[in-house]
Amino acid sequence: MIPWRVRLEKRLDPAWHLAWSVPVLSIIGALVASGLLLAMFGVDPIATYRAMWKGAFGGLFGGDLYSASETLVRATPLILASLAVSVAFKMKFWNIGAEGQLIMGGIAASGVALFLPAAAPGIPQNLVVYGVLMGGAAVVAGALWALIPALLRAYLNVNEIIVTLMLNYVAILWYSHLFTSVWNDPEGFGFPGSALFPEYTWFPKLFGTRLHLGLLLGLLAAVIVWVLFDRTRFGYEIRLIGDNPEAARFAGVSIFRNIVLVMLVSGGLAGLAGLSEVAGISHRLQQGLAAENGFTAIIVAWVAKLRPWAVVLVSVLLAAVFVGGDQIQITMGLPSSVAQVVQGVMLFFVLGGDIFSRYRLRVFRHVVDMAPAAEAN
């Protein structure tokens, strides 16, 4: 018989450093584990990781900024969408619909950019005015799309998971319909996409890369969400509802009002992610607007434990894994499934590793009598 035994014991007051050490160790563990997998398939793990690193952060320390900027470009919509999801999750309101809210935001911003200049030529045609108008439209559209499940839940107690999830597909279909037929560029030779937006609606680029204003928007949103969570009565109320709705009711908090408010904020943030993609990258409504960022956001929010600063960090890390994964397909000629395996193992370790921040491992040596287990049968 094994002379020792390992068991998990709950930590009463988790030490502060666990918030850092556990995720870092989890990532190292993931790299080792996926390294073993890669080696089993005859791929050199070190070379693969090096290629991924170069793809994701390449010229970060000298050289060109291209790779690192691509990672941040990839992270931008993820940050906004993950913040959106975090706000709702903080109240344990399961908004699985960031994808659809993002798309609705993108549609609304595109609508303004495509049709407002002709409809209202009197409006000054510059970035500030159009940025505000498109931003407003995106926020309102995302928020209204999120309002549907909020009202259904608040009035009729309809499960929000189902409604938000299904509304994603409604949004996706509308959006496909728009850019392939109704809003299709008449001069686009049937290419699926709207006309290009007027240039004054484009978000300015940063550092001569594809990085754009949307990243700053995301960082600003992270700060605002942090203040909202940590420093306001509204944040307190959603925390209270999230932990114990009965206690919130007891404290006189209106759950109805907060469901609506939280979903307006959540949907609005997701809408901003849509704006950031159309005004910052594609400059038209076309295929690949959401790129499943609304779903990936759920993972980010969870790994970040709904902390806004961690959302930013995790979004960048995950974006790096995505971009690096694309890179190994190109430079090493590996199939995309290899990158996905590495991504999957990483998420598995980070999410699974979380148990060690709540429990500790203890090793015991057996003492004299272990007999009952054996004699019981």
Partner 1 sequence: MDDNGDIAVAIRGLTKRFPGVLANEAVDLTVRRGEIHALLGENGAGKSTLMSCLVGLYSPDEGHIEVATAGRSLRQVDIHSPRAASRLGIGMVYQHFKLVPNQTVAENIILGAEGVPFVPKMRDVEQAVGALADKYGLHVDPSALIWQLSVGLRQRVEILKLLYRGAEILILDEPTAVLTPQEADALGATLRGLADDGKAIIFISHKLGEVLAFSDRITVLRDGKNVATLATKDADKPGLAELMVGRPVLFRADRDAREPGEVVLSCDGVSANDDRGIRALSDVTFSVRSGEIVGVAGVTGNGQAELAEVVTGLRKPTKGKVALHGEDVTGKSARRFIDRGVAHVPADRLGMGLAGDLPLTDNFIMKRYRRAPVSAGPFIDSSAVADLSRTYVDRFRVLTPSIKTLARNLSGGNQQKAILAREIDAGDRAEGIPFIVAAYPTRGLDVGAIETVRSALLEERLDGAAVLLLSEDLDELFVLSDRLIVLHDGEVMGIVASADATKERIGLMMAGEAT
- Summarize as ranges the residues that interact with partner 1 (CB under 8 A): 5, 7, 9, 11-13, 231-236, 239-240, 243-244, 246-254, 362, 364, 366-370, 372-373, 375-376
Report d(CA 274, CA 296) in Å as an integer: 14
Q: How far is the CB of 15 from partner 1 (least distance, A)?
A: 8
The nearer residue to partner 1, 243 or 292, going by C-beta atoms, is 243
The nearer residue to partner 1, 11 or 205, going by C-beta atoms, is 11
Report d(CA 200, CA 284) in Å as an integer: 13
The nearer residue to partner 1, 207 or 250, going by C-beta atoms, is 250
Q: What are phi and psi of 225, to 5 degrees?
A: -65, -40
Question: Do 55 and 67 meet the contact criterion of CB atoms below 8 Å apart?
Answer: yes
Report d(CA 22, CA 28) in Å as an integer: 10
> What distance, in Å, lies between the first and last C-alpha atoms of the chain?
18
Q: At 360, which helix (H) or strand (E)?
A: strand 359-365
Phi-psi category of 283—alpha, beta or left, where left has phi over 0 and alpha has psi -120 to 50? left
Q: How far is the CB of 290 from partner 1 (least distance, A)?
A: 32
The nearer residue to partner 1, 251 or 351, going by C-beta atoms, is 251
Question: Do 315 and 72 meet the contact criterion of CB atoms below 8 Å apart?
Answer: no
Q: What are phi and psi of 190, to 5 degrees?
A: 75, 0
The nearer residue to partner 1, 210 or 239, going by C-beta atoms, is 239
Q: How far is the CB of 70 from partner 1 (least distance, A)?
A: 38
Q: How far is the CB of 223 from partner 1 (least distance, A)?
A: 15
- Here the tokens at position 97 are 């619909």
Question: Do 51 and 322 meet the contact criterion of CB atoms below 8 Å apart?
Answer: no
The nearer residue to partner 1, 238 or 285, going by C-beta atoms, is 238
Using DSSP, state whether 2 is helix, strand or coil: coil
Q: How far is the CB of 252 from partner 1 (least distance, A)?
A: 3
Report d(CA 297, CA 292) in Å as an integer: 8
Q: How far is the CB of 5 from partner 1 (least distance, A)?
A: 6
Q: How far is the CB of 366 from partner 1 (least distance, A)?
A: 6
The nearer residue to partner 1, 7 or 177, going by C-beta atoms, is 7
Report d(CA 349, CA 343) in Å as an integer: 10
